[in-house]
Structures are given as structure tokens and as C-alpha cells.
């Protein structure tokens, strides 16, 4: 059973990370790493962003921060919609 899990888990993980989440409107992989997974090879090695030193590092940091703010706002918006639906149903 463990061998089957090890065989299929990378494919399942890629499929999950490659689908836009309905709440956040982003790829889960993108939220964490700041880039969209284009193919399964993108999941093999995620660079250690703490070791990398690149001239565009600050731009990447800014992008990920803005992305996290956008995701947070989207989650809050979705939560309000759900709560409004529940309130309307409770009134009936």
C-alpha cells in the first residue's frame, strides 16, 4: 500500500496544486512559492528562497506579499458570502 501511495502522491499533489482554488482564485502552489506550476517538474525542486540572492529578490518578495494580501481579501469576501447565505437560510 505504501508503494502505491508513493507512486501516486506526486501526481495527486501536482493536480491539486495546478487547479485554481475557488476561494482564493489562485493556485495553492503560487500562494506558497510565488509562481505557477507549469508541469510536474516544477514540484521536484523548489528553490530555497532564503539562500538565493538575486537582483530581483525584492520584486519577488513584493509580488508574494501582494499576492498574500489579495488571497486574504478573497477569502474574507468568500466568507462574507457564505455567512450571508447562512443568515438568510436561518431567517426562513
Cα–Cα distance measured from residue 89 to residue 92, given in angstroms and rounded to the nearest whole number: 5
Q: What is the pLDDT of residues 33-43, one digit of tens each?
A: 887 777 766 65
Q: Quick: pLDDT tens for 53-78.
A: 566 778 888 888 999 999 999 999 99
pTM (2 d.p.): 0.61
DSSP-assigned states of every residue in 8-39: HHHHHHHHHHTS--TTTSS-HHHHHHSS---S
Domain boundaries, the chain: 2-91
Integer CA distances (angstroms), 29 to 2, 18, 85, in order: 25, 7, 30
Amino acid at each position: 500500500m505504501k508503494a502505491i501511495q508513493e507512486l501516486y502522491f506526486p501526481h495527486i499533489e501536482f493536480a491539486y496544486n495546478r487547479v485554481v482554488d475557488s476561494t482564493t482564485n489562485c493556485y495553492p502552489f503560487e500562494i506558497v512559492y510565488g509562481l505557477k506550476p507549469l508541469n510536474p517538474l516544477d514540484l521536484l525542486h523548489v528553490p530555497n528562497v532564503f539562500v538565493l540572492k538575486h537582483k530581483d529578490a525584492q520584486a519577488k518578495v513584493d509580488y508574494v506579499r501582494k499576492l498574500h494580501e489579495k488571497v486574504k481579501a478573497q477569502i474574507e469576501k468568500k466568507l462574507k458570502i457564505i455567512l450571508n447565505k447562512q443568515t438568510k437560510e436561518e431567517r426562513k
